[in-house]
Amino acid sequence: MVNQQFAEVYYPKQNPVGKRFWIGDRKGQALEIVGVAKNTKYVSLAEPPFTAIYQPLQQNAQNRMTLMLESYATPRRC
């Protein structure tokens, strides 16, 4: 998945779903866009939107990751 900013920068006025792109050079496997996520803030509410790519954990395991989720339930402390 990519975020809205990525879609607007690299595929303006197009539906990016189904498009393929590479990270780095074209020697590796191309990534296919399967959806577009809303832009979000990571550090500050004042930060401008930036391009983001989201990959499944099994395809791109990292030492440091961020888990994002949305819930309609009222948050409770455990």
Q: Compute the average pLDDT of residues 20-25.
A: 88
Q: Compute the average pLDDT of residues 11-35.
A: 92
Gap between the Cα atoms of 13 and 25, Å rounded: 25
Radius of gyration of the chain measured on its C-alpha atoms: 15
Please report the pLDDT score of residue 63 as a whole number.
79
Alpha carbons within 13 angstroms on the beta-carbon side of residue 64 total: 0
Please report the pLDDT score of residue 2 as a whole number.
96
Q: Kindly report, residue by residue over 27-60, the tens digit of the pLDDT.
A: 888 999 999 999 988 788 889 999 999 888 777 7
Please report the pLDDT score of residue 66 as a whole number.
72
Residue with tokens 């296919």: 32
